[in-house]
Structure 1
């Protein structure tokens, strides 16, 4: 089988490495000729290396993947990679361009390879207008779907749906799941705007909890306490946030 060339574009180094490793397992004939950290660099490297395929993250600084795709004007087949399925599923499910959700899974990547090997479909006629519509959607607030956190001496990608609570101290924020404790350096004040307010509530100056994980609200001597599913310790609710539970 002839060797194919590919470009990977993602502003997260860990995501580029994860995708490169997955491609090595699923598509070893694919030669990664370059990696880009933003849309502008992706555009420049694509023109320089002329890859057969581009794996392009949608949300990147300086220039988004959508803007890069518009600039490249259909010259290269593109597989979009995104943490937000609303960007990809509706727009590309019936089109020529495939998409992958982060973190990329081998089984899904294999489908991309099989689709490529079967036949490369032509670009739809409304390709540019679809990209422009998607570009406007980037201005809407989007929320985290996964957390990159330290577990011991290794890094792990944790789905936001696994998180029971976030709890901060002076240097780190604890990410608590049913199966492990992990650490991130992002303080709560920076983390909170990135989380869906319908899924996560701040219940204390140093604590955020996932609403769906709350099993029981108890009254203690000093105020309300929360019992979370699959988590032993009770979580204290400060008086400033007690109003959140008036209807529970």
Structure 2
């Protein structure tokens, strides 16, 4: 498990390095003193886990996360206990108060291992999206990536594999995960270019579904299909996409 330490205190980073030596499967791949440095390290190193301070010069740890389209799992390390609720609202794995205790760090790392070792099965294969000529293709997000979602005053840090549906809602896109339905200012076309086509399928002009959340499929009118997702809702697949879906899911 590769870890990036983000803290403006050199002493705090040194102490974390020392504590992490007790865990043979953990490798500290880098350090960052502030959000700007962390962004560069994240892009270069792509760690599995971020040990992240909240109060830093310039941007806070929360502001760093809000600026990322995809990020590793996060464990907050801070001297302040008043941000714990907010930390879990962005789906942080844990919230460790300084000075960090080895037993609490061990428990937090175990949560990270459980997330990283969760099995994933991909059954459908699709052609990659066509990129715009003379422009680099957009960075593809895998189902294991996490994205920061903000809707008004609420925010979440969501693994893409937990999102079962993207649906147009006015000029926004609504995201379905757990019991939540936040709206984001992104088009389905933009999302389709970023999402892994092995996992996410454009069912019609209004909806993109996560193939792993399919509960049942039934024939529908005019040779189309109707798909029920675990946790709802039902999605009607367009005629053209029904043909493509049958091709993708056939041997």
TM-score interval, smaller chain: 0.3 to 0.5
Larger-gyration structure (1/2):
1
TM-score (normalizing by structure 2): 0.47
Q: Which has the higher contact order (CA 8 A, sep 6+)?
A: 2
